[in-house]
Structure 1
Amino acid sequence: MFGKKAQPPIKGLLAQGCRIEGQLRFTEGMRIDGQVVGNIHAVPEQPSLVVISETATVEGEVVADHVIINGTVRGPVRAAELLELQPRARVEGDVSYGAMEIHQGAVIVGLLRHDPPAEEKPLLKLAASNA
């Protein structure tokens, strides 16, 4: 399901040494190497990816389809499709995810809630009689 779909390209970067205070909204892909004090939200109803590198610190909510964390997040995380926690990840907040991959060394201080994406149910097909 997750491996078959192409990831959105990373079009935004907050470099190491940079700091943003306030809301950060993005489309497609975003990489955070610096510090964000505020919420990071992907634009809804578009495929989205956010990467929080090992040098990054986020103090706020992180919301996207696919979230990859190898740094520190102090706040809730919502990954509609996939949450990847790399070995240096530290999340201090509640986590909601469709699917999760967690590497040895990653830490979550909060509640985990599996929230699978809504999938369309196949249509019921009735067998026709051959009479």
Structure 2
Amino acid sequence: MFKGDKVKSKPESPDRLNRLVSGTKLVGDLTANSSLRVDGEIVGNIQCNGKLVLGQEGVIVGDINATEVEIDGKVEGQIKAEVLLVLHQTASIIGDIQTGRIVIEDGAHVEGNIQTGEASKSNKNFLGKNSKPNGKKLVPTEAV
């Protein structure tokens, strides 16, 4: 009877994008109910119910759990990307990865184990309840 009866999901508004700009450091766990872009430094675990983008200057020392993850910077910790993980050529990962799908550009550095596809979905305890950043400083690495 009414043409506007259907409820459509709206694309995420740019206003709902959380940002941590270059030069900013956050110590502690972070939970975001929308997408997140990090160009600064986070020492703590991240739970993101959207897409997490780590810029080239960005550093995360802690575990990441997000729907999608795109990395240009450095991560020291475990990564769980439910749908997709994209590692650009400047990405440096020290830690294990669990994701539905992965794209790795030439030049990206990964030091750890990678689980993809159905095997990654069956491992519910990948990020343990007691996951804490190890407090180590990241050392710039060169791609091999």
* 2:86 matched residue in structure 1: 84
Aligned length: 109
- Between the aligned partners of 2:111 and 2:13, the Cα distance in structure 1 is 30
* 2:45 matched residue in structure 1: 39
More deviation in 10-19 or 31-40? 10-19
1:25 aligned onto 2:31: yes
For the structure 1 residues 110 and 9, does the alpha-carbon distance in structure 2 shift closer, same or farther, using more than 3 Å as the test?
A: farther
Offset, 1:27: 1.3
> Tell me, what secondary structure is at the counterpart of 1:96?
strand
What TM-score, normalized by structure 1, do the two folds share? 0.77
- The letter of the residue matching 1:20 is L
> Tell me, what secondary structure is at the counterpart of 2:57?
coil
Offset, 1:114: 1.3
* 1:97 matched residue in structure 2: 99
Offset, 1:115: 4.0
| Percent of matched pairs sharing the same residue | 28
**Structure with more helix by fraction:** 2
Offset, 1:7: 7.0
Let me know the Cα RMSD of the aligned residues: 1.8
**Structure with more strand by fraction:** 1
**Displaced runs of 4 or more, over 6 A:** none
What TM-score, normalized by structure 2, do the two folds share? 0.71
* 1:57 matched residue in structure 2: 59
